[in-house]
Amino acid sequence: MSGADGHIPYRPLRLDEGEMRRRLDAMYDHLAERRSVRMFSPDPVPLDILETAVRIAGTAPSGANKQPWTFCIVTDPGLRSQIRKAVEEEEFKSYSERMSKRWLDDLMPLGTDHIKPFIEEAPALIIVFRRIHEKDAAAGSKYPNYYVQESCGIAVGLLLAALHEAGLSALTHTPSPMDFLARLLDRPDNERAFLNIPVGWPSDDATVPNLSRKTLDEICVHYAGPHPKSEK
């Protein structure tokens, strides 16, 4: 049941500062180890583990609590072959015609190209669809969803954190355009492909690009005041 039934008390445990720091330092150390992986072992991942990760994603906040997402867990090897074929056709056009020189240069350190073996090699793909509206079949009408892009982005963030928590690796793969995914997976016409997320364990010979993350100073700005625009 997605609707709220009035308001109910909410009293999460308030932690002392020491515990807050311990927990967040540990969370940072753990999440900082997460990397996008493109080389997977074929070892199957238990389905209930993927489902729990999806349940975690489904706890994300969303515009007007519409929860405008569908997560398709694709393990069928035949379907994955078809997806790979369609993906590589689109990616070939992207790499050879659609992407700018600047874009290709920016991707150089990642070493990506249009060949996507991970679609067949990873044991599962979680293909996320954003639901642009909902349908009221009885009334034959549509009603809107809100901030669909933002809502799905937050849900995928939680999904990636959940998969990492389980010791799994993933990739946020964005073939573009990706309308073919809705066709191949027979999705209803109110759904648009949002991201393809191959999931599994890295292969024994997996490597990742040697990237660095921005420092706190580069991503965080304080307004502790007094600011010239703060009220006297």
How big is the site for ligand IYR, counted in residues (CB under 6 A)? Answer: 9
Q: In 143-182, which positions are buried (b, 16+ CB within 10 angstroms) versus exposed (e)?
A: eebeebeebbebbbebbbbbbbeeebbbbebebeebebbb
Query: Contact between 91 and ligand IYR (CB under 6 A)?
Result: yes
CA distances from 166 to 50, 78, 152, 200, 228 (A): 9, 27, 21, 10, 47
Query: Closest approach of Cβ 91 to ligand IYR, in Å?
Result: 6
| Site for ligand IYR, residues 104 to 163, rule: CB under 6 A | 107, 110, 112
Whether residue 53 contacts residue 128, with contact meaning beta carbons closer than 8 Å, is answered with no
Query: Closest approach of Cβ 216 to ligand IYR, in Å?
Result: 23
Query: Contact between 96 and ligand IYR (CB under 6 A)?
Result: no
Using the rule CB under 6 A, which residue among 159, 173, 178, 200 binds ligand IYR?
A: 173
Q: Which range of residues in 4-12, 26-34, 119-127, 174-182 is near ligand IYR by CB under 6 A? A: 174-182
Among all residues, whose Cβ is closest to ligand IYR?
112
Q: What values do phi and psi take at 31, rounded to 5?
A: -70, -30
Question: Of the two residues 90 and 191, which places its CB atom closer to ligand IYR in the complex?
Answer: 90
Give strand pairing partners of 142: 135
Query: Closest approach of Cβ 116 to ligand IYR, in Å?
Result: 7
Question: Of the two residues 20 and 110, which places its CB atom closer to ligand IYR in the complex?
Answer: 110
Question: Of the two residues 149 and 176, which places its CB atom closer to ligand IYR in the complex?
Answer: 176
List the structure tokens of 154. Answer: 């937050």
Binding mask 45-84 for ligand IYR (x = CB under 6 A): ----------------------------------------
Q: What values do phi and psi take at 172, rounded to 5?
A: -95, 100
CA proximity to 194, closest of 211, 177, 212: 177
Question: Of the two residues 130 and 173, which places its CB atom closer to ligand IYR in the complex?
Answer: 173
Question: Of the two residues 36 and 190, which places its CB atom closer to ligand IYR in the complex?
Answer: 36
Whether residue 62 contacts residue 155, with contact meaning beta carbons closer than 8 Å, is answered with yes
Using the rule CB under 6 A, which residue among 175, 191, 195, 203 binds ligand IYR?
A: 175
Residue 226, preceding bond cis, omega within 30 degrees? yes
Q: 47-57 and 148-165 are packed helices; what angle lies between their axes, rounded to 10 degrees?
A: 140
Contact residues for ligand IYR (CB under 6 A)? 91, 94, 107, 110, 112, 173-176
